[in-house]
Amino acid sequence: MRSSLHRGRLMLVFVVVTALMLTLLGRLWYLQIVTGPSYARAATESRVRSVVLPPVRGQILDVRGRPLVANETKPQVSVDYMALIHQPDGGKDVLTRLARALGRPYREIADRARLCAKDVPRPCWPGSPYQPIIVADDVSVRTALWIAERQDEFPGVSTALRPVRTYPLGSAAAHVLGYLQPPSPDDPAGGRELVGRDGLEAEYDRDLAGRTGIREVAVDSTGKVTGLIREEAAVAGDNLVTSIDARIQEVAERALARAVTAARKRGEPADSGAAVVLEAQTGRVTAIADYPTYDPSVWTGGISQREYEELPLVSAAVQGQWPPGSTWKVTSTAAAAKAGYSLRASYDCPGGYMIGGRVFHNFESADLGRMDMHRALVVSCDTIFYRFADEMWRRDGGLKPVKRPKDPMQTMAREFGFGTPTGVDLPYEAPGRVPDRAWKKANWERTRADSCRRAKTGYPEMSDRKRAAYLKALAADNCRSGGVWWAGDAANFSIGQGDVLVTPLQLARGYAALANGGTVFSPRIGKRIVRADGTVVRTITPPVVGKIDVSRKTLRFIRDALADVPRTGTAAGAFEGYAFKRLPVAGKTGTAEAYGRRDTSWFASFGPVKKPKYVVVVVVSQGGTGGTTAAPAAREIWEGIAALSHDDQKKPKKKDGRR
């Protein structure tokens, strides 16, 4: 019918058309069959958005359930990256309006809303573009509501309430409570925004944190949620009930601050201090006050590097260590008793005691005459202890020590729990130091190279030439020989001077052991882990870590002696007019000397004397004598405790009366 020409041309079109369609089929095969699985994965990734549901962190409560750390929900504004970039102008318009609503510069909001990349400087968003990007977290409720009500004006912007930590008692126990920080890069912490970094927040992080929930939602191309795929609800963290009594904590902080202020008025530097209140019979911590302290609310809403560096984050009570001064004499007395010295015998307390050609003096070189150990503790005689130390040192062989020296004083000090961390439920605890022959040798070997260098070069950087010359001579001595435990070292040790170091918490638990008849606890602040519904997850009991191997009689003797210190002894001035009848208190002052520094002021006490309930230890670094600075603060704390126990006893009576 048609010419072969047309047939040929139609054949050509047929071939071309068929080839085109087969090309499409081939491509379709490649996309769907060959590479289909990878596209299926890509589809899931673009369609499913995982939202991390942060759990509510548990509260930290005091012994009566008063919150020390609570949560408060604060509005937070976030933007949806995917929704913004699909807007015609890339979200610029919305962000401009948002910046205006928040009263912030546009640049700041826009910078926070961009994704971090190689050439993008901070601030930027380091997370996934599918996670809401937080652009403001300290928004007023009004502003947040205003934005939330205008979703059509702010597409891609969302507001949500997020819990933040609050501190109802202000700066109280800031160091004990600790703080939260974003997890370090090497510890992703299960996608959590913040982890406990110090204090109880760090120690009980696993209990407080709860479990992060996850919600996987299906989203459309604009980021709008179209359905729920999977949800695993967040589990709220457990609450931590502590043995801290907020009222005593406040009293302790106030007393400590006042002591510091008073010491400064007297011209002392008083650069730091601590007050520790322990339950003598249980080893629980009732209060830990630190100076200087800070307001933990600085942690909420982000903290700048400068602010962070200026914060006093070291807890004087747990991380600070000083020579204990005469508070140490309770261990030395116990050691002497155990070594066979009669406590009731009469000893001479001269103004000075000669050891190795050098006179070791009493405080202010006073010659106090003859006395028994009771009085020696009350008036804090040093020379009697020098004698004990000297004799014990000789018995151990002196400069040529026997193979296994008894070291009665060191042994007793260790029994009291000194020289090792208490194991309290707080991180970064300092161990203190109980120096002995071995320590001195090791320390000398460690510092010898430096001593030899200093013996040559001297101390040219020091302006005090006299002191520099003294130190140079000392360095030369230490370079030649050293590491020997002299009788003088033993004497210094016996009265808590020299190389002895204790933390306030160690001293408190030592005094608790003295008060409770010899049981050494590892103190605990946490008391119970309680679920949000009130069920107890677990109870925390301070473990017993040691028992002082000394007769109960000896301990009672020391306690009785210490009972006279505030009445007639070194703390009598501080306790003048104190109502001993209401709450009889026993204690010991300590004044630790350090070359080139002012004295460390200590007061360690317990009460009531007959059946001790609490131990109170106060230290003020460079604060003067124990009687002038630390003892008045301790007295204030005791008065606070007495007032509170009085209130507590009255309350149930009232109830009974009504019945």
Partner 1 sequence: MTAFGPLSVRLPSGHGTRRGVWARLARLPAWGLVLPSAALSAVGLLLVWSATRNEPDSTLPQRQALSVGIGFVLMWVVSRVDLRVLRAYVPVLYLLALAGLVAVLTPLGRTVNGSHAWIVLGDGLQFQPSEFAKAATVLALATVLGELRDGERRPGAGAVLLALGLAALPVGLIALQPDYGTALVFLALTIGMIAVSGARKRWFAALAAAGAAGLLLVWRLDLIQPYQLERLMVLADPDADPMGVGYNATQARIAIGSGGLLGKGLFHGEQTAGRFVPEQHTDFIFTVAGEELGFVGASCVILLMLALLWRGLWIAAKSPSPFGTAVAGGVVCWLAFQTFVNVGMTMGLLPIAGLPLPFVSYGGSATISSLAAVGLLAAVNRRTRTPA
Binding residues (CB under 8 A) for partner 1: these are 1-3, 5-7, 9-10, 12-14, 16-18, 20-21, 23-25, 27-29, 31-33, 35-40, 42-43, 46-47, 85, 218-222, 226
Alpha-helix residue ranges (DSSP H) falling in 360-423: 373-378, 383-395, 408-415
The DSSP symbol for 331 reads H
Minimum separation from the CB atom of position 87 to partner 1 (A): 12
Q: CA neighbours within 13 Å on the CB side: how many for 636?
A: 21
Give dist(CA 60, CA 177) in Å, integer: 8
Minimum separation from the CB atom of position 131 to partner 1 (A): 16
DSSP E strand boundaries for 198-342 = 213-219, 225-232, 239-242, 272-279, 285-291
Rank residues 10 and 537 by Cβ distance to partner 1 and give the closer one.
Answer: 10
Minimum separation from the CB atom of position 147 to partner 1 (A): 24
Rank residues 43 and 537 by Cβ distance to partner 1 and give the closer one.
Answer: 43
Give dist(CA 428, CA 432) in Å, integer: 12
Rank residues 34 and 345 by Cβ distance to partner 1 and give the closer one.
Answer: 34
- Contact criterion met (CB below 8 Å) for 242 and 527: yes
First to last CA, the chain: 122
Give dist(CA 584, CA 407) in Å, integer: 35
DSSP E strand boundaries for 608-647 = 614-621
Of 389, 406, 415, 396, nearest to 336 by C-alpha is: 389
Give dist(CA 213, CA 55) in Å, integer: 7
Rank residues 52 and 218 by Cβ distance to partner 1 and give the closer one.
Answer: 218
Give dist(CA 107, CA 89) in Å, integer: 16
Give dist(CA 469, CA 467) in Å, integer: 5
Rank residues 29 and 308 by Cβ distance to partner 1 and give the closer one.
Answer: 29
Length of the chain counted residue by residue? 659
Rank residues 86 and 264 by Cβ distance to partner 1 and give the closer one.
Answer: 86
Minimum separation from the CB atom of position 108 to partner 1 (A): 23
CA distances from 244 to 72, 208, 223, 281, 523 (A): 22, 17, 48, 15, 12
Minimum separation from the CB atom of position 227 to partner 1 (A): 9
Rank residues 36 and 182 by Cβ distance to partner 1 and give the closer one.
Answer: 36
The DSSP symbol for 641 reads H
Minimum separation from the CB atom of position 127 to partner 1 (A): 17
- Contact criterion met (CB below 8 Å) for 284 and 527: yes
Give dist(CA 618, CA 603) in Å, integer: 5
Minimum separation from the CB atom of position 50 to partner 1 (A): 16
Rank residues 21 and 438 by Cβ distance to partner 1 and give the closer one.
Answer: 21
Rank residues 39 and 470 by Cβ distance to partner 1 and give the closer one.
Answer: 39
Minimum separation from the CB atom of position 1 to partner 1 (A): 6
Minimum separation from the CB atom of position 80 to partner 1 (A): 14
